[in-house]
């Protein structure tokens, strides 16, 4: 944190700021400049709340300098984290393809789609049993029955399954069935849920909040790691902007930034960012090209009959084509890089 003083700040005001920094157990370091004094705050052990100083007389600005996260930081943990799930590993050196319907609608639907995506080359099956819906009157998912279908899909196909948990209440239940537990964009700062996830032995797929900065996202992951679970997969899924030709704006620069700041793997969900099938395939390829560790894509064998998100779900043959393209870009990139 750097506190910038007004040009006309008095020595008395400067002294008061210095004293206040010390009162909070922090180390102030005054930096006289050409036109004004700044005061660095050193040796802080966690995030410093700038608002503690912003209101003091003579303080013009409080500028964060260092990042607030620790356990998720690459500075603290330089090696890439690799997360084994069944036979596969998510993280550096592989491209993980996760595919399936938005919601589990029936055993037949789930199995049909799972067989399609497995054949096309998916590594994991996704499908929602508990669905977060903007409207209380929309289909909310099959709940426990959906989880049982997922278990059956795993048995039949051998694919590990990813499914979302919406709340603390159902965490034990979801944990029992899922191979990877997803925390959705609306719950990225549901701190009770994050702490519970931190006590799980299962890997957590943590989606970025719709309007979250990378700092906030990594701090959400820090909640999970701070409770002991370091198997966190981050998932970029688009942020809310003024842009109105896609549902959200996929922020692909997040991938290199997160890979630089953190050791955790990061995948991309282009389906929810786009909200329209015709944007999903190009954005998927783009996510591979920025070297995301994986993709999560919605696939449905009959999208026009889907109970949710039909318009953004790929047809099985589209997903097959996408897998070919994605793996080709991935392999090519690695061949070229080396």
Work out which of 204, 306, 319, 320 binds a second copy, going by CB under 8 A.
306
Between 119 and 192, CB nearer to a second copy: 192
Between 87 and 304, CB nearer to a second copy: 304
By C-alpha distance, which of 119, 123, 83 is closest to 99? 123
Work out which of 11, 35, 87, 93 binds a second copy, going by CB under 8 A.
35
228 binds a second copy (CB under 8 A): no
- Contact set for a second copy, span 171-190 (CB under 8 A): 186-187, 189-190
CB of 134 to a second copy, least distance (A): 5
User: How many residues bind a second copy, per CB under 8 A?
Assistant: 118
CB of 79 to a second copy, least distance (A): 14
93 binds a second copy (CB under 8 A): no
10 binds a second copy (CB under 8 A): no
Q: Which residues contact 195 (CB under 8 A, 6 or more apart)?
A: 223, 224, 227
309 binds a second copy (CB under 8 A): yes
Between 66 and 119, CB nearer to a second copy: 66
Dist. CA 234–CA 266, nearest whole Å: 5
Between 6 and 80, CB nearer to a second copy: 6
Dist. CA 30–CA 44, nearest whole Å: 16
Which among 93-101, 108-116, 145-153, 326-334 is the span making contact with a second copy, rule CB under 8 A?
326-334
Task: Give the bridge partners for 61, in sequence order.
Answer: 4
Between 199 and 243, CB nearer to a second copy: 243
Per-residue interface string for the shown chain with a second copy, residues 51-80, x marking contact by CB under 8 A: xxxxxx----xxx-xx-x------x-----
305 binds a second copy (CB under 8 A): yes
* Sign of the dihedral through C-alpha 121, 267, 337, 73: negative
CB of 301 to a second copy, least distance (A): 13
CA 134 vs. chain centroid, Å, equals 20
Dist. CA 225–CA 204, nearest whole Å: 10
CB of 148 to a second copy, least distance (A): 21
């Amino acid at each position: 944190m750097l506190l910038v003083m007004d040009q006309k700040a008095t020595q008395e005001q400067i002294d008061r700021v210095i004293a206040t920094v010390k009162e909070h157990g922090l180390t102030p370091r005054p930096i006289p400049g050409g036109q004004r004094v700044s005061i660095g705050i050193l040796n802080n052990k966690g995030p410093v709340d700038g608002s503690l100083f912003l209101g003091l007389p003579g303080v013009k600005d409080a500028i964060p300098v260092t990042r607030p996260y620790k356990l998720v930081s690459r500075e603290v943990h330089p090696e890439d984290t690799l997360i084994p799930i069944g036979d596969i590993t998510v993280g550096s050196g592989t491209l993980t393809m996760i595919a399936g319907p938005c919601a589990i609608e029936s055993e037949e639907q789930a199995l049909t789609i799972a067989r399609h995506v497995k054949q096309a080359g998916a590594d994991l099956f996704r499908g929602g049993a508990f669905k977060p819906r903007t409207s209380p009157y929309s289909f909310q998912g099959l709940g426990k029955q959906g989880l049982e279908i997922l278990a059956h899909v795993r048995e039949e196909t051998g694919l590990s399954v990813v499914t979302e948990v919406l709340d603390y209440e159902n965490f034990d239940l979801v944990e029992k069935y899922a191979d990877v537990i997803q925390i959705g964009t609306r719950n990225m700062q549901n701190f009770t849920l994050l702490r519970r996830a931190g006590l799980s032995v299962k890997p957590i797929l943590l989606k970025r909040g719709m309007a979250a900065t990378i700092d906030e996202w990594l701090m959400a992951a820090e909640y999970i790691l701070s409770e002991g679970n370091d198997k966190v997969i981050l998932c970029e899924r688009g942020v809310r902007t003024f842009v109105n030709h896609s549902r959200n704006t996929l922020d692909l620069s997040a991938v290199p930034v997160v890979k630089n700041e953190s050791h955790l793997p990061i995948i991309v969900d282009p389906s929810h960012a786009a909200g329209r099938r015709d944007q999903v395939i190009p954005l998927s390829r783009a996510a591979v090209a920025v070297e995301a560790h994986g993709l999560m894509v919605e696939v449905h064998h009959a999208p026009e009959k889907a109970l949710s998100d039909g318009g953004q779900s790929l047809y099985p043959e589209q997903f097959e084509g996408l897998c070919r393209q994605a793996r080709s870009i991935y392999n090519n990139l690695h061949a070229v890089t080396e």
